[in-house]
Amino acid sequence: MPKLVIPTPHMEAKVGDIAETVLLPGDPLRAKFIAENFLDHPVQFNGVRNILGYTGTYHGKPVSVMGTGMGCPSIGIYSYELIHGYGCKNLIRIGSAGSMNPKVKVRDLVFGMGSCTTSNYVRQFGLPGDYSCICSYELLEKAVAAAKEKKLTYHVGNLLCSDMFYTPDLPQTGMSWSDMGVLAVEMESAALYSNAAAAGVNALCIVTISDSDLTEESMTAKERQESFTDMMEVALALA
């Protein structure tokens, strides 16, 4: 791997500007929303490529939040730089996902215990087999406890991390992801989990179900904002 020089080509933060715990929404404007509505005394540390990042405190604990963009390559870059350049130890993705299981309803939370993937991202580590992308149990345990305390509806299990948002409608020739118990599909967890594992740090993907092809339901803008607030509060409780 090339040696990181701080600031990096993608981040203008200085060493010490970013907390060890960082929330990672895909949308940079959601990072701005979290900073302005949940953090005390937030300070912006990044604006390169409009990927907004902020550090503040939550209940007295330092917390950062930064957008990552969409897909494995994008979160792969930012999570790598946060870990190896800025010393981040707890990386928590918060985002939306589509249900792949009839028991997982719109507005439910899913904690990604594992991440299956159609991406080649993990294969580029050169492992002599197929790596199982899993989250940090330490963070998962805390997330479940926070969801129980808030009496939220949540599920724990496998995610599908897909490289494609618009997946072609191809004939099925074998088992489906849902047949194998996969709960929901998103686009970033496998890169985050594998980067964290390679560096020995903690990562967790928390998603809110925003739509379901099984029921043809989808959130309104108002419902999405309210449900995402639940997800943000659970994630912040992990700091």
Q: Active-site residues: which are they?
A: 211
Name the CA radius of gyration of the chain, rounded.
17
Beta-carbon contacts of 110 under 8 Å, excluding residues fewer than 6 positions away, are 97, 104, 154, 155, 156, 157, 159, 183, 184, 206, 207, 208, 209
Strand partners, 63: 56
Residue 203 bridge partners (DSSP): 91
- Parallel/antiparallel/unpaired status of strands 90-99 and 61-66: unpaired
3-state secondary structure 192-234: HHHHHHHHCCEEEEEEEEEEECCCCEECCHHHHHHHHHHHHHH
Q: Which two tokens stand for residue 25?
A: 């929404």
User: Which residue type does 53 have?
Assistant: G
72 three-class SS? helix
